[in-house]
């Protein structure tokens, strides 16, 4: 997918979202609840992604951005008899 197509898709999604927000005050309670559940799901997924990425980056690099020497892979060699 080209970047122009991707931007067009994002713009279409944004326009649909704004249209849905504009119609929300006149909507039925069931529609409001379902919209809230979908919105809560999206926010939850984004927050969990941010937490996962920050934990992964923290455990890999630490706060200063340098790799942590304790997490280096070590090769296991057979013991000599």
Scan for tokens 């980056």, then name that residue: 57
| Residue 41 in domain | yes
Contact criterion met (CB below 8 Å) for 37 and 31 = no
| Residue 20 in domain | no
| Residue 19 in domain | no
Strand locations in the chain, DSSP E? Answer: none
| Residue 1 in domain | no
**Which range of residues forms the domain containing residue 37?**
28-58
User: What pLDDT, on a 0 to 100 scale, did the predictor assign at position 59?
Assistant: 63
| Residue 65 in domain | no
User: What pLDDT, on a 0 to 100 scale, did the predictor assign at position 4?
Assistant: 87
Domain count along the chain: 1
User: What pLDDT, on a 0 to 100 scale, did the predictor assign at position 47?
Assistant: 94
| Residue 37 in domain | yes
| Residue 14 in domain | no
| Residue 49 in domain | yes
What's the average pLDDT block by block, 10 residues per block, for the chain (81 residues)? 86 90 88 90 93 76 57 68 66
């Amino acid at each position: 997918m080209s970047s122009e197509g991707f931007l067009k898709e994002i713009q279409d999604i944004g326009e649909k979202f704004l249209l849905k927000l504009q119609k929300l005050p006149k909507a039925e309670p069931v529609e409001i609840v379902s919209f809230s559940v979908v919105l809560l799901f999206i926010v939850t997924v984004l927050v969990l992604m941010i937490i996962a990425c920050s934990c992964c980056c923290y455990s890999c690099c630490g706060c200063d951005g340098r790799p942590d020497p304790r997490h280096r892979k070590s090769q296991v060699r057979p013991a000599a008899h």
